[in-house]
């Protein structure tokens, strides 16, 4: 499969694994990249330069395929020292960096681009994509309202957002939001994107480090089993519905301050769900595409299946046109 993104990043499939807190660790990133996609390490998983450097070494020990690192620009309870992380990125020879968050990555571009690092920025609107493209990123990633995790405040669906961004920027676009099948990938590519980004679909892989209780819950979920929280704080996230998420929505209806909400969504609470299988604790980001997933499989097998579905979709359309 040859697209501008597969060529730019030297990957086999135009499949990017979305950065997921407490999930996209070194081992999982290595599995995704080794399968021919692009794994992205969540740098905020690591408290210091040494642990972050060790994670990069683990990835390089497990695969010789390209991978990326995410630098987070969202507000955080625990401050993130991106300057220190960039030092390690350059020391370890990381070639691809993704940025995402509430501001433009001017400082990161200025630091890493002269060193030959390929940069992509993830956002949820045309104007943000145009701004970062002008700043010099090599690619932009946009996700529609169906997306799990941060959805922004614009509420633009993938079907409308991807072509709007493709028409507005002169760099390759990676599109996502609700992508769980090869048929959806065909749609995203037909809209002009050069690759897709997936998160929810990759939760249901054998290598994904989440508890079996959570995998089983996701397998039984429908497209109606997600909802939005944190909208009143202008930090909207789409999540799988559980007791905690419903409690957060209740607090938001009461106009509760952020201090009352944080204990329910703190990282330690979500770890109980992800690592221990306590489905009532914390929350997990989950897109509406969860309803289209029917099985757990190894990442390599998944990518091959998605590629075959993509091919079948293209053949079906071609038959209609002939």
Mean pLDDT, to the nearest integer, of 24-50? 96
State the DSSP code for 18.
P
Query: pLDDT for 156-202, tens place per residue?
Result: 999 999 999 999 999 999 999 999 999 999 999 999 999 999 999 99
**How many percent of the chain have pLDDT more than 90?**
90
Mean pLDDT, to the nearest integer, of 299-317? 97
Helix H or strand E segment including 239: strand 237-240
| pLDDT, mean over the chain | 95
Break the chain into its structural domains and give their ranges: 4-206
Query: pLDDT for 68-114, tens place per residue?
Result: 999 999 866 677 899 999 999 999 999 999 999 878 899 999 999 99
Give one word for 66, left, alpha or beta, with left for phi > 0 and alpha for psi -120 to 50.
beta
Token pair belonging to 37: 């996609």
pTM of the predicted model, to two decimals?
A: 0.95
For 252-315, strand residue ranges (E) read none
Please answer whether residues 195 and 1 qualify as being in contact, where contact means their C-beta atoms are separated by less than 8 angstroms: no
3-state secondary structure of 312: helix
Stated length of the chain: 322
Is the CATH number 3.20.20.70 carried by domain 4-206? Answer: yes
Please answer whether residues 9 and 1 qualify as being in contact, where contact means their C-beta atoms are separated by less than 8 angstroms: no
Query: pLDDT for 238-257, tens place per residue?
Result: 999 999 999 999 999 999 99
Q: Exposed/middle/buried for 273, CB within 10 Å: 0-12, 13-18, 19+?
A: buried
């Amino acid at each position: 499969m040859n697209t501008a993104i597969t060529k730019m990043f030297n990957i086999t499939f135009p499949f990017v694994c979305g950065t997921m807190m407490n999930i996209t660790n070194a081992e999982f990133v290595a599995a995704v990249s080794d399968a021919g996609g692009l794994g992205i390490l969540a740098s905020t998983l690591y408290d210091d330069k040494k642990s972050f450097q060790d994670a990069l070494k683990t990835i390089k020990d497990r695969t010789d395929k390209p991978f990326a690192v995410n630098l987070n620009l969202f507000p955080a309870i625990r401050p993130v020292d991106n300057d220190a992380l960039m030092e390690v990125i350059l020391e370890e020879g990381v070639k691809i960096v993704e940025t995402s968050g509430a501001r433009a990555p001017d400082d990161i571009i200025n630091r890493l681009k002269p060193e030959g690092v390929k940069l992509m920025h993830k956002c949820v609107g045309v104007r943000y994509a145009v701004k970062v493209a002008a700043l010099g990123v090599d690619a932009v990633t946009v996700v529609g309202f169906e997306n799990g995790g941060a959805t922004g405040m614009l509420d633009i669906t993938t079907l409308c957002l991807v072509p709007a961004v493709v028409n507005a920027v002169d760099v390759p676009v990676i599109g996502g939001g609700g992508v769980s099948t090869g048929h959806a990938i065909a749609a995203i590519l037909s809209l002009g994107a050069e690759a897709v980004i997936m998160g929810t679909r990759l939760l249901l892989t054998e290598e994904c480090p989440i508890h079996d209780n959570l995998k089983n819950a996701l397998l039984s979920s429908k497209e109606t089993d997600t909802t939005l929280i944190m909208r009143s704080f202008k930090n909207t996230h789409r999540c799988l519905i559980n007791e905690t998420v419903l409690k957060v929505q209740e607090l938001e209806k009461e106009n509760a301050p952020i201090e009352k909400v944080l204990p329910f969504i703190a990282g330690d609470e979500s770890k109980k769900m992800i690592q221990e299988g306590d489905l009532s604790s914390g929350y997990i980001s989950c897109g509406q595409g969860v309803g289209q997933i029917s099985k757990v499989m190894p990442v390599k097998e998944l990518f091959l299946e998605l590629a075959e579905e993509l091919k079948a979709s293209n053949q079906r359309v071609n038959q209609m046109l002939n």
